Structure 1
Amino acid sequence: MSRSVKCSVFFLVFGVVLIILGCVFIPVFHNMIHNEIKEQIPLKVGSKSYNTWLDPPVPIYFQVWVFDLVNPLEVVQQGATPAVIQKGPYSYREHRQKVNITFFENGTLAYREKRSFTFDREMSVGPESDTFTTVNLPMITIAELIRFEYGWLQAFVDALLEAVGDAELFLKLSIADILWGYEDALLKSIKEIAERFNHTLPDEFGLFLNNNGSDDGLYTIFTGSDVQGIDKFNLINKWNYKQRLGYWNTDFCDMINGTDGTMFPPFLEKSDKLYIFSTDICRSIYAAYESDIKLKGINLYHFTVPPKVFERASLNENNAGFCSPPGHCLPSGVLNISVCKSGAPVVISNPHFLQADDEVINGVIGMHPNKEEHQTVLDVDPLTGVVMNAEKKLQLNAFLQKVDNFKSTSNIKDVFFPIMWLNESALIDDKSANEYKTSLVTPIKITQAVQYGLIVIGAFLFICALAFFIKHKVTQKKADVLVDIPNERLTNDRPDTERTNLIQT
């Protein structure tokens, strides 16, 4: 065997070895990375994930867009369709602080999270004192409480409201008033009557009353330790010691599912649903995979809340439990949460009634739903389950209905009246993104370069050696053919003069 043949055989074998090594390293490196993530993800004091969970490094913003009613008299007196103009954003910097943290031996921990909001004038269209015309929620709350009472009682309450001077259906309020609350003379005057009908009313009213500087309950979550497993990381086990909310009519709707929306269990698949529990909407919802995206050099899964989540019960039977009272179901795109808002007829939806039925959207002039602007999104790293970008969008509405013996509602049409919509958002900053890429993305790219580099080099050597070996074999075969040609053929192929010389000899 010639030296060149030996070299080709060597490179042929060496190429195969590199290909095998590259293929072997794929599951090896995959398991190494997964094991490292499993080691780093669980919440334990001192770990990086715990520090991030305890004090999120990215800024959180709470932005509000308000709907200003431009035709209040026509709505009240003539039953006209409400016409609104959007104003905003009014921006707040949101601060979160986890307190009363307690670890348990069963792989869970309990905590409370205080939230505070600081108004950011530079990111807002105006001061927090800006006013707009909106619905008188305390008044319609009282109207809702006595909707099915005797007519004489309704008339008596209406007369009392007029005497107090707060019987108007629409009021001018500031952003601060409607968000954080204001003292309401109406609530004070009707408080004693409400107590006779087993209803407790506060002296103040605000959509986010007592939310600034306080917490929304005691959470018990899974830490992701070996006791319960990484698959339950950050999932809520209990809220206020309960595993059921007690608000809704079926066990399915009343479940407390998912996480708080900041982190999810690692190793996500595109087929997974990301469940999120929110006290703002008094229920759990889910987001589904929509597409792959790249954010600050990081490959992420883009999840959105699908229309099915808020579909009417006739289209999605799982939503029948959200009909409140039981059997009183709303159209697609809106959810009555009065059961957890002290009886106030508050209805939630996507901003501008995105994904709602046409009858809801067309009930108000000024609604312009747009998917890109108004949908809730989560951009999640599938390996770690960390949310790199979150935009939680929600609209708060009042369900206005006619109450016969209330003068201010006697002419109105039933309508879902938009009050405001909000966007609670957090986007990973450049520093955190670079740290993430250095700690995880770069090592993964290096291991992938090693894996596929070995396979490519091995394949190249194998193909080159195989080509050389085949060429050598073809050349050798031609040479062998020439050696085996008979002497007679060689003789016959010689010129005539040469043959003559041979005969003479």
Structure 2
Amino acid sequence: MSRSIKCSVFFLVFGAVLIVLGCVFIPVFHNMIHDEIKTQIPLKVGSTSYNNWLDPPVPIYFQVWVFDLVNPLEVTQQGATPAVVQKGPYTYREHRHKVNITFNENGTVAYKEKRSFTFDRQKSAGPESDTFTTVNLPMITIAELIRYEYGWLQGFVDALLEAAGDAELFLKLSIGDILWGYEDALMKSVKEIAERFNHTLPDEFGLFYNTNGSDDGLYTIFTGSDVHGIDKFNIIDKWDSKKSLGYWNTGLCDMINGTDGTMFPPFVDKSDKLYIFSTDICRSIYATYEKETKLKGINLYHFTVPPRVFEQASLNENNAGFCTPPGNCLPSGVLNISVCKSGAPVVISNPHFLQADKQIIDAVIGIHPNIKEHQTILDVDPLTGVVMNAEKKLQLNAFLQKVDNFRSTENIKDTIFPIMWLNESALIDDKSANEYKSGLMTPIRITQAVQYGLIVIGAFLFICAMAFLIKHKMTHKKEDVLVDIPNERLTNDRLPTERTNLIQS
């Protein structure tokens, strides 16, 4: 065997070994990376995961767009369709910090999260003192509380409203007032009456009253330790020491499902439903995979909240428990959350009633839903479950209805009136993105380069060696054919001579 043949056979075998080795490294490196993530993700004091959870490094913004009513007199006196103009955004920088942290032996940790908001004038359309015409929420809250009471009581309360100078259905408020609260004389006047009907009313009223500088309850979540496994990482076990909310009419609707929406268990699959519990809407929702996306060089999964989450009970029987009072179901796209808002007739929806029933959208002039602008989104790293980009969008509305013996409501149409919509957003910054890429993506790319490099090099050597051997074999076969042809001719030339000599003999 020639030296060239020996070399070719060596490279053929060596190439095959490299291909096999590269294929073997694929699951080996995959498991190594997964094991490393399982080690790093669980919440342990002092770990990077714990520090990021304790004080999120990513800037969070709380933006508000308000709906300014331009025809209040026509609505109250003539029953006209409300016409609104959107103003905003008014932007706040949101700060979160976890306090009262207690690790439990059962693999959970309890904590409260304090939230504070600082107005950012540069990112806002105007000062926080800007005013707009909106619904008088304290007044319609009181009207709702006595909707089914005796007529004489309704008349008495209406007279009380007139005397307090707070009987108007609409009034002018600043952004700060409607968000964080303002002192309302009406609330003080009827506080004793409300207590007789087992309702406690605060002296001040605001959609996010007592939110700035406070927390929204005691959370108990799974740490992702070996006790329950990484699959339960950041999943809420209890909220305010409860396993269910106690707001809704069925156990399914009353469940506390999922995480707080900032992180999910690692190894997210495209078929997963990502469940989120939010105290702002007093329920759990879920998001589903829509497409792959890329952000700051990081490959992510893009999740959105599907329309089915807020479908009416006749289309989605799982939502029957959200009908409040029981059996009183609203159309698709809106949810009455008065049960968790001290009886205030607050209804939530997507901004501009996106994906809501057409009759809801058509009941207000100036509503223009746009899926790109008004949809809640989550861009999630499928390996770690960390949310790299989030836009939680929500609209707060008031349910306006006629109430007997209330003069300010006697001419109005039943309408779900938009007050404001908000976007609570967080986008990973460049520093955090670079740290993530150097800490996780670079090792992954190195391992991928090794395993696929071995396969490519091995395949190249294997193909080249195989090509050489095939060419060598074909060349020698041709030479053998050329050698055989002259011998044949020589044999045929001798035959006549031999026959002649035989005859002469």
**How high is the TM-score relative to the length of structure 1?**
0.97
Which structure 2 residues correspond to residues 200-211 of structure 1 after superposition, within 5 A? 200-211=200-211
Offset, 1:487: 2.9
Return the alpha-carbon distance in structure 2 between the equivalents of residues 293 and 256 of structure 1: 29
Return the alpha-carbon distance in structure 2 between the equivalents of residues 61 and 87 of structure 1: 17
Gaps of 5+ in 2: 497-505
Offset, 1:489: 2.0
Offset, 1:492: 5.1
Offset, 1:486: 6.8
Deviates more, 1:336-345 or 1:401-410: 401-410
**How high is the TM-score relative to the length of structure 2?**
0.97
Return the alpha-carbon distance in structure 2 between the equivalents of residues 487 and 245 of structure 1: 101
Partner of 2:312: 312
Offset, 1:491: 5.6
Offset, 1:473: 1.1
Offset, 1:148: 1.0
Query: Does 1:472 pair with 2:472?
Result: yes
Return the alpha-carbon distance in structure 1 between the equivalents of residues 222 and 196 of structure 2: 43
SS at match of 2:215: strand
SS at match of 2:216: strand
Return the alpha-carbon distance in structure 1 between the equivalents of residues 316 and 448 of structure 2: 44
RMSD: 1.4
Deviations 1:267-289 (A, max 9, x none): 01000011110000000000100
Offset, 1:91: 0.5
Partner of 1:259: 259
Offset, 1:163: 1.1
Which structure 2 residues correspond to residues 185-204 of structure 1 after superposition, within 5 A? 185-204=185-204
Offset, 1:172: 0.2
Offset, 1:2: 1.2
Deviations 1:387-444 (A, max 9, x none): 1001100000000011121111011001110000000011000011011000011111
Deviations 1:322-370 (A, max 9, x none): 0111100000000000000000000000000001010011110011101
Offset, 1:479: 2.0
Offset, 1:488: 4.1
Return the alpha-carbon distance in structure 2 between the equivalents of residues 214 and 347 of structure 1: 23
Return the alpha-carbon distance in structure 2 between the equivalents of residues 91 and 488 of structure 1: 99
Structure 1 residues 61 and 493: CA distance shift in structure 2, 3 A: farther
SS at match of 1:484: helix
Q: Which amino acid aligns with 2:279?
A: T
Return the alpha-carbon distance in structure 2 between the equivalents of residues 487 and 124 of structure 1: 100
Return the alpha-carbon distance in structure 1 between the equivalents of residues 444 and 91 of structure 2: 38
Return the alpha-carbon distance in structure 2 between the equivalents of residues 156 and 175 of structure 1: 32
Partner of 2:499: none
SS at match of 2:212: coil
Partner of 2:114: 114
Return the alpha-carbon distance in structure 2 between the equivalents of residues 171 and 72 of structure 1: 9
Structure 1 residues 67 and 475: CA distance shift in structure 2, 3 A: same
SS at match of 1:395: strand
Return the alpha-carbon distance in structure 1 between the equivalents of residues 196 and 483 of structure 2: 120
Which structure 2 residues correspond to residues 102-501 of structure 1 after superposition, within 5 A? 102-485=102-485, 487-490=487-490
Offset, 1:83: 0.3
Return the alpha-carbon distance in structure 1 between the equivalents of residues 196 and 365 of structure 2: 40
Q: Which amino acid aligns with 1:244?
A: S
SS at match of 1:147: coil
SS at match of 2:277: strand
Offset, 1:478: 1.7
Offset, 1:454: 0.7
Return the alpha-carbon distance in structure 1 between the equivalents of residues 392 and 135 of structure 2: 24
Which structure 2 residues correspond to residues 62-73 of structure 1 after superposition, within 5 A? 62-73=62-73
Deviations 1:120-173 (A, max 9, x none): 111111111110000000000011111111222211111111111100000100
Q: How many residue pairs end up in the alignment?
A: 496
Return the alpha-carbon distance in structure 1 between the equivalents of residues 404 and 106 of structure 2: 56
Return the alpha-carbon distance in structure 2 between the equivalents of residues 479 and 311 of structure 1: 81
SS at match of 2:22: helix
